[in-house]
Structure 1
Amino acid sequence: MVKIVVIYSGGMDSFTVLNKAVKEGYDVYALSFDYGQKHNKELMCAKEVCCDLNIPHKILDITSISSLFTSSSLVSSDVDVPDGHYEEENMKSTIVPNRNMILISLAIGYAVDINAESVWYGAHSGDHTIYPDCRPEFVKVMDEASKVANFEPVSVYAPYLNTDKIGILKEGLAMGLDYSKTWTCYKGQAKACGTCGSCVERLEAFEANDLQDPLLYSE
């Protein structure tokens, strides 16, 4: 059985990636990161899902790096998470500088240590506009760098790189997945806000699939 590491945030994209890998017969090791994100409720979702699936799961505490990212609304207490669609200019405040390069690098190190062949993560085409570290060219160069950074060539793979959230949800539903086990909202409240970019995109995906989102929303 081929061993892989899945970067698992607890959100709906990485939830689908995780389950896809399990259903395709991979020996999955899940890795989550606490980097000081306001929406750390996603980590509780990740823990519960991995427990249900009986998947080895680590939550790595790297909260100290949040002090480097004072411009990001996802981690800084001085910057409010904006409302609106991802295509709007104000959504750029949700960028955590170099986040995926940092997380993927740590995941590659973990993969080398446990003799895993690949690192999977949930980048998708809906992220391409606003997040450079979710674009095909980034995945390509990270994959190339990973294969020469260690004696063990670990590949970097984003299975939904050319699929949007609507398509990801459609595939997950076909797998019979329960998206009430995921968390998407950026604001870190008890209920999803329904107005941040992440919530807006999630709600659009459910609407496009003619379904109601099972999460509770405050608006």
Structure 2
Amino acid sequence: MAKVVVIYSGGMDSFTVLHRALRDGHEVYALSFNYGQRHVKELEVAHQVTTQLGLPHKIVDITAINELIANSSLTSSDVDIPEGHYEEVSMKSTVVPNRNMILLSLAIGYAVSIEAQAVYYGAHSGDHAIYPDCRPEFVKRMNDVSQIANYQPIEIAVPYLDCDKGEILKDGLAMGLDYRQTWTCYNGREKACGKCGACVERLEAFAANQVTDPLPYE
């Protein structure tokens, strides 16, 4: 049984990745980050899920980095969350500068310290249009660096890199997962907005699988 670190935001993609790692027989250590995201509700969901599963789970506060990486609508209340589809140019405001490189670097360090073999994260093809740090070329180079950055090489595992959100959901449904245990909406309100890029893509994924999303929407 391999020990692995899963970067677990509490969203539906990382929720599926978490269970994929468990299904593959790995000893999972979940790692979440509070980077000042407006949808911090996702961390509460992540805590509930890992507690229910009895998994080791760390939530690391890295909000101090917002002094350096500002101007994203996900972290700044001065920038409106855009509505629409991820492929629209307006969605670039949701990019948090260098986020995945930062999170992966911290996760790799954690993996080395607990003698894990890999770090899992949930990049997928639906993110490629807007998020450079979810594209195959980024993943490849991060994996190359992760092999040589420490005495212990760490693999960057991205099981859904070439899948869209509908395909990820299909795999999760096949595993019998309950997506009420996830939070996707960029607006961290009581109910999901149904209009931000994250909600639009999530609803498309459920429609593609001919299943009703169990989350309540405004």
TM-score, with length taken from structure 1: 0.99
Unaligned runs of 5+ in 2: none
Indicate the residue corresponding to 2:72 in structure 1.
Answer: 72
Q: C-alpha separation between the residues in 2 aligned to 1:79 and 1:69?
A: 14
Indicate the residue corresponding to 1:101 in structure 2.
Answer: 101
Structure 1 runs of 4+ with >3 Å offset? none
- Letter in structure 1 aligned against 2:70: T
Q: C-alpha separation between the residues in 1 aligned to 2:70 and 2:144?
A: 30
Shifted more, 31-40 versus 64-73: the winner is 64-73
Residue 156, structure 1, aligned to residue 156, structure 2: yes
Q: C-alpha separation between the residues in 2 aligned to 1:132 and 1:159?
A: 18
1:159-213, Cα deviation, whole Å (9 max, x unpaired): 0000000000000000000000000000111110000000000000001111110
1:86 aligns to what SS in structure 2? Answer: coil
Q: C-alpha separation between the residues in 1 aligned to 2:184 and 2:68?
A: 23
Indicate the residue corresponding to 2:206 in structure 1.
Answer: 206
Indicate the residue corresponding to 2:34 in structure 1.
Answer: 34
Q: C-alpha separation between the residues in 1 aligned to 2:46 and 2:57?
A: 9
Question: Is the CA contact 1:166–1:204 (under 8 Å) kept in the aligned structure 2?
Answer: yes
Give how far 1:68 is off: 2.1
- Letter in structure 1 aligned against 2:103: L
Give how far 1:24 is off: 1.1
Q: C-alpha separation between the residues in 2 aligned to 1:118 and 1:48?
A: 24
Indicate the residue corresponding to 2:16 in structure 1.
Answer: 16
Indicate the residue corresponding to 1:165 in structure 2.
Answer: 165
Between the two proteins, the alignment pairs up a number of residues equal to 218
- Letter in structure 2 aligned against 1:113: S
Question: Is the CA contact 1:121–1:157 (under 8 Å) kept in the aligned structure 2?
Answer: yes
Q: C-alpha separation between the residues in 2 aligned to 1:196 and 1:79?
A: 13
Question: Is the CA contact 1:8–1:46 (under 8 Å) kept in the aligned structure 2?
Answer: yes
- Letter in structure 2 aligned against 1:125: S
Shifted more, 63-72 versus 101-110: the winner is 63-72
Residue 84, structure 1, aligned to residue 84, structure 2: yes
Give how far 1:21 is off: 0.6
- Letter in structure 2 aligned against 1:71: N
1:6 aligns to what SS in structure 2? Answer: strand
Question: Is the CA contact 1:69–1:75 (under 8 Å) kept in the aligned structure 2?
Answer: no
Indicate the residue corresponding to 2:7 in structure 1.
Answer: 7
Unaligned runs of 5+ in 1: none
Q: C-alpha separation between the residues in 1 aligned to 2:174 and 2:60?
A: 31
Give how far 1:69 is off: 2.6
Q: C-alpha separation between the residues in 2 aligned to 1:21 and 1:153?
A: 19
What does 1:170-189 align with in structure 2 at a 5 Å threshold? 170-189=170-189
Q: C-alpha separation between the residues in 2 aligned to 1:29 and 1:70?
A: 29
Q: C-alpha separation between the residues in 1 aligned to 2:102 and 2:66?
A: 12
- Letter in structure 1 aligned against 2:38: K
Aligned-residue CA RMSD (Å): 0.6
- Letter in structure 1 aligned against 2:201: E
Q: C-alpha separation between the residues in 1 aligned to 2:22 and 2:160?
A: 15
